Chain A
């Protein structure tokens, strides 16, 4: 505890280990390399470190740790816990209880006390959530990150805990056994499930029938999904885009390997091709909105990773697509600041800043009486269209002005030919 109060924390400064800590004396992390067994590579301890000689952690077994302790705690453990074995055990108890019970409240109290005292920032919940912030044990990076995991229970079975609550342990399946091998085998305090013949993992609870059934249902569902996916992939395999004539699933780059599904026909196109066709400007709307193969009109294209042909699948895909788009804010509506030309037909979300969904606006018709006394209807014009139109008008006007000018010049030159009293000034003025 006394050590914990020192300004330098218990966690070894990682910049210092690399030789580049700029904080020097003022660093909140420990610069005491010798005293920190967290410096020992935990992968080395497990038997294999991919970095080999280049590993920045020590590849030595901690000498001061007794052989017995290694057997008990093969994972790298902070050194100070040696001085108080009993304390260590009780600390683990606390951890476990917190995880099973009131973990949240524990963290909260830690947080408040830590934030009050800047000296103890280093022990803030960010580094050691779920742990007593001023615990006797110095923390290694690995233990700090491990206990920070949301389901920290995963880390516990690595070292069999003598004080595991048997009731708790008996309800949980050992995750290592699930994945194939638990090093503690029979001695593991957690349940080792039976092999599931569908997923091939030891996931079946030995006696709880409800959990057995639950897992089986899950497995069957997963299996069905996998089957469906593989059918979808097989279906899509040799589909050729009608526009670029390439096999869609072989296009390069792989991001191009998407189908653009038309709602009203069953012709195959890749997404980029059909979108390009539908945005072509040189044809009438009627032509580009139609399928390039059969000329059946479809209102929109749905992107899909796989080829979808049957009506039900297509409906499901389109519904999913619309749902996904319905969660995104419309870039025209701009949360109430803009106006969407598609109005209630827009697939995107029309919601205001406070989250309320906009009601479909009735289309407003503005009318005015023009000079002849007839009624004119105002069309809604996008600014972009207006600019385009105006630019064209300006070009036309310029052309007109030029024609006029040329005409004047011609006329003037005729005049100046006939009567010589026109001064040069006038010609200059005109030109």
Chain B
């Protein structure tokens, strides 16, 4: 990897570790290999959002041309959000694409992602199903997102109603994660979800 990329990541790594956000447990970064090409980030779900209390893990890949090109970031933790794919974790965020600037850092990227969790852009969606739900049935979206945060990100807000519905689906013989996705896309209508799972 180009020299400048490694040198910069090393510096940034130190910067993130020392930053205020790390001290308040909002973000963190750790190395996954010795060459500084892959890192693992973590952001806390921002307060007053359905993601509150959750911890979201991110996969960060540093391209050779960094910082002249943005890092490739993806959610490892599953999340229900209009701008993040509920299947792959791919993120739709302008600064990770054409609006990147060379002065941005790992820290600013992670903070931006945290801000994205608090301010979704349903008109520029990554996951069309989630975006549709967000626009048409906001209450249902928030319930679903909260449940996903509970199920995957370790948030403590459990919704007994949704858990009950999930149990129903699982008792019908479906795998839990698949059942959850199906229920979420069908606005937690158990029959429709079952139909979708069988089709």
Residues on A close to B: CB < 8 A?
242-246, 267, 273, 276-277, 280, 282-284, 287, 290-293, 295
Given A245-B7, A277-B102, A292-B104, 19 other A-B residues pairs in contact with their CB atoms under 8 A: A242-B102, A243-B8, A243-B67, A243-B68, A244-B7, A244-B8, A244-B67, A245-B11, A245-B12, A246-B11, A267-B103, A273-B4, A273-B102, A276-B68, A280-B68, A282-B69, A287-B98, A287-B100, A293-B103
B171 CB–A CB distance under 8 Å: no
B99 CB–A CB distance under 8 Å: yes
Give Cα distance in the complex from A392 to B4, angstroms: 33
Which chain B positions have C-beta within 8 A of A277?
Answer: 68, 102
Q: Could you say which of B7, B11, B12, B102 contacts A292, with CB atoms under 8 Å apart?
A: B102
Interface centre among A244, A245, A282, A287, by most B CB within 10 Å? A245
Closest chain-A Cβ to B183's Cβ sits at a distance in Å of: 40
Ordered nearest first, which 3 A-B pairs have the shortest CB separation?
A: A292-B103, A242-B103, A292-B101
Listed by A's residue number, 26 A-B pairs whose Cβ atoms lie within 8 Å are A242-B102, A242-B103, A243-B67, A243-B68, A243-B102, A243-B103, A244-B4, A245-B8, A245-B11, A246-B11, A267-B103, A273-B4, A273-B102, A276-B68, A277-B68, A277-B102, A280-B68, A283-B100, A284-B98, A287-B99, A287-B100, A290-B101, A292-B101, A292-B102, A292-B103, A293-B101
* B8 & A287 in contact (Cβ 8 Å cutoff): no
Closest chain-A Cβ to B186's Cβ sits at a distance in Å of: 40
Closest chain-B Cβ to A273's Cβ sits at a distance in Å of: 7
Closest chain-B Cβ to A344's Cβ sits at a distance in Å of: 31
Closest chain-B Cβ to A238's Cβ sits at a distance in Å of: 15
Give Cα distance in the complex from A282 to B97, angstroms: 10
Q: Beyond A243-B67, A245-B11, is A283–B103 a contact (Cβ under 8 Å)?
A: no
B contact residues, total (Cβ < 8 Å): 15
Which chain B positions have C-beta within 8 A of A290?
Answer: 101
Give Cα distance in the complex from A175 to B100, angstroms: 61
Residues on B close to A: CB < 8 A?
4, 7-8, 11-12, 67-69, 98-104
Closest chain-B Cβ to A303's Cβ sits at a distance in Å of: 18
Interface centre among B11, B67, B101, B103, by most A CB within 10 Å? B103
Closest chain-B Cβ to A145's Cβ sits at a distance in Å of: 48
Which chain A positions have C-beta within 8 A of B104?
Answer: 292
Closest chain-A Cβ to B104's Cβ sits at a distance in Å of: 8
Which chain B positions have C-beta within 8 A of A243?
Answer: 8, 67-68, 102-103
Closest chain-B Cβ to A298's Cβ sits at a distance in Å of: 13
Instruction: Using CB atoms, name the residue of chain B closest to A272.
Output: B4
Which chain B positions have C-beta within 8 A of A242?
Answer: 102-103
Closest chain-B Cβ to A286's Cβ sits at a distance in Å of: 10
Which chain B positions have C-beta within 8 A of A273?
Answer: 4, 102
Instruction: Using CB atoms, name the residue of chain A closest to B4.
Output: A244
Which chain A positions have C-beta within 8 A of B12?
Answer: 245
Which chain A positions have C-beta within 8 A of B100?
Answer: 283, 287
* B7 & A246 in contact (Cβ 8 Å cutoff): yes
Instruction: Using CB atoms, name the residue of chain A closest to B97.
Output: A283
Give Cα distance in the complex from A262 to B101, angstroms: 15
Give Cα distance in the complex from A277 to B100, angstroms: 11
Instruction: Using CB atoms, name the residue of chain A closest to B12.
Output: A245
Give Cα distance in the complex from A314 to B7, angstroms: 30
Which chain A positions have C-beta within 8 A of B69?
Answer: 282
Instruction: Using CB atoms, name the residue of chain A closest to B8.
Output: A245
Which chain A positions have C-beta within 8 A of B4?
Answer: 244, 273
Give Cα distance in the complex from A291 to B98, angstroms: 15
Q: Could you say which of B7, B11, B67, B101 contacts A287, with CB atoms under 8 Å apart?
A: B101
Which chain A positions have C-beta within 8 A of B68?
Answer: 243, 276-277, 280
Instruction: Using CB atoms, name the residue of chain B closest to A241.
Output: B103
Closest chain-B Cβ to A296's Cβ sits at a distance in Å of: 11
Which chain A positions have C-beta within 8 A of B99?
Answer: 287
Instruction: Using CB atoms, name the residue of chain B closest to A295.
Output: B101
Which chain A positions have C-beta within 8 A of B67?
Answer: 243-244
Give Cα distance in the complex from A273 to B68, angstroms: 9
Instruction: Using CB atoms, name the residue of chain A closest to B10.
Output: A245
Give Cα distance in the complex from A277 to B66, angstroms: 11
Closest chain-B Cβ to A260's Cβ sits at a distance in Å of: 12
Which chain A positions have C-beta within 8 A of B102?
Answer: 242-243, 273, 277, 292
Give Cα distance in the complex from A5 to B102, angstroms: 75
Which chain B positions have C-beta within 8 A of A246?
Answer: 7, 11
Instruction: Using CB atoms, name the residue of chain A closest to B15.
Output: A245
Give Cα distance in the complex from A291 to B104, angstroms: 11
Give Cα distance in the complex from A242 to B99, angstroms: 17
* A283 & B11 in contact (Cβ 8 Å cutoff): no
Which chain B positions have C-beta within 8 A of A287?
Answer: 98-101
Give Cα distance in the complex from A284 to B104, angstroms: 17
Interface centre among B8, B11, B101, by most A CB within 10 Å? B101
Which chain A positions have C-beta within 8 A of B8?
Answer: 243-245
Which chain B positions have C-beta within 8 A of A267?
Answer: 103
Which chain B positions have C-beta within 8 A of A245?
Answer: 7-8, 11-12
Interface centre among B12, B99, B102, by most A CB within 10 Å? B102
Give Cα distance in the complex from A291 to B69, angstroms: 15
Give Cα distance in the complex from A426 to B102, angstroms: 59
Instruction: Using CB atoms, name the residue of chain A closest to B99.
Output: A287
Give Cα distance in the complex from A240 to B100, angstroms: 20
Closest chain-B Cβ to A314's Cβ sits at a distance in Å of: 20
Which chain B positions have C-beta within 8 A of A282?
Answer: 69
